[in-house]
Amino acid sequence: MNTLNPKNLAIHTSPQNDLRLVESDIPSIKPHECLIHVRATGICGSDVHFWKHGHIGPMVVTGDNGLGHESAGVVVRVGEDVTDFKPGDKVALECGIPCSKPTCTPCRTGQYNACPDVVFFSTPPHHGTLRRYHAHPSAWLHKLPSHLTFEEGALLEPLTVALAGVDRSGLRLGDPVVICGAGPIGLVTLLAANAAGAEPIVITDVDENRLRKAQELVPRVRTVKVEVMGETAQEVGERIVGVLGAEAKLVMECTGVESSVQAGIYATRFGGMVFVIGVGKDFQNIPFMHMSAKEIDLRFQYRYHDIYPKAIGLVAAGVIDVKPLVSHRFTLEEGIKAFETASSPAAKAIKVQVVDN
């Protein structure tokens, strides 16, 4: 376990919107940390956004920045104060490390995703986990059952986003639900909503390939292809209602695209909720008085907290199968090609993962 590859490769970007394969020293570990050989990392839309646009809201790439936060791997070394892990343990990495100070209200009250001093690996200025070796606090590692793969372990991170959305939105058995967007987050939200007993379910997208994937994952789901041109958001919303068979009690918006948010609002029933998971532009227009007249709630989600154990349990028990989400695999040395694939509509990618054996 102590024989390490001397090349600690990683994928970085910068304010120049470039993408580079870099090599750095193997990190030393603090007493409370473990050195992880990262075996699988998924490319998230936020990674592509930081590369292409240099920021997400107030989070701005101001220097050299390593990407990646959907990771699983194996422990290769442990710090002297670590007692609950040993070399060889298979782990998923929770990448939001809060300050945990007793004076921090979000940490003290269990809402550590709101910690103002959180270190979230891959969010500037903190390097991400898309690298061969990464030092990680042991308190934010989660042991994986032996039968789960590293790929499944890496997919737990987007699954936690979906599960947090299901929890916070209050989705209940038999609720009519619309999911806007059949990208990776939309599809994993579909899996979570299906497991939670939503019925009926409609999922929307502009890409027929992704809608077909949705029906492969959940055969009973109904689909609506959104035309980029020629339809108003209200017309799309009306079409969604026609396919659903009723106005939605809950719309889970997974794109952040203004027109999609609007369509979701128009598909929502009186007293229903539009729950936004997707990341979009800083300022957006919404049908304000329509929402007011129908008492539609608009809610949002910021990352997640206390959800990894639930995600591991659901995947380990076979309640949710995330394996079919991986459409492309690349080696760490092929990391730049992996990003190009993840960002190209022509590639028809669902979830691109970078693996290192």
236-251 pLDDT per residue, tens = 999 999 999 999 999 9
Residue 150 confidence class, pLDDT cut points 50, 70, 90: very high
pLDDT score of 308 more than 60 = yes
Are 232 and 203 in contact, with CB atoms under 8 Å apart? no
Predicted pLDDT at 56: 87
pLDDT (average), residues 20-45: 96
User: Which whole number is the average pLDDT over 292-307?
Assistant: 96
- SS3 of 33-83: the string is EEEEEEEEEECCHHHHHHHHHCEECCEECCCCEECCCEEEEEEEEECCCCC
- CB under 8 A, 24+ apart: contacts of 111-118: 111/305, 112/305, 113/302, 113/303, 113/304, 113/305, 114/302
Please report the pLDDT score of residue 57 as a whole number.
82
Per-residue confidence band for 2, with pLDDT thresholds at 50, 70 and 90: low
Q: Which residue from 208, 145, 202, 186 is spatially nearest to 325, judged by alpha carbons?
A: 186
**C-alpha to C-alpha distance for 218 and 312, rounded to whole angstroms:** 20
Q: Is 225 helix (H, G, I), strand (E, B) or coil?
A: strand
Please tell me the predicted confidence (pLDDT) of residue 3.
80
pLDDT given for residue 1 in this prediction: 46
Cis peptide before 324 (omega within 30 of 0): no
Q: What is the mean pLDDT of residues 303-326?
A: 97
Distance CA 240, CA 203 (A): 9
Q: Which of 199, 174, 200, 179 is nearest to 190 (CA)?
A: 179
Q: Residue 282 has what pLDDT?
A: 85
Q: Please give the share of the chain, as a percent, with pLDDT higher than 90.
A: 94
Average pLDDT, the chain: 96
Contact yes or no for 154/353 (Cβ under 8 A): yes
pLDDT value of residue 141: 98
Domains and CATH numbers, the chain: 8-143+322-355 (3.90.180.10), 161-300 (3.40.50.720)
**pLDDT over 90 at 35, yes or no:** yes
Query: What is the rounded average pLDDT of the residues 73-90?
Result: 98
The predicted pLDDT at position 228 comes to 78
pLDDT at 174 over 80: yes
Nearest to 235 by CA among 211, 204, 275: 204
Average pLDDT of the segment spanning 32-47:
96
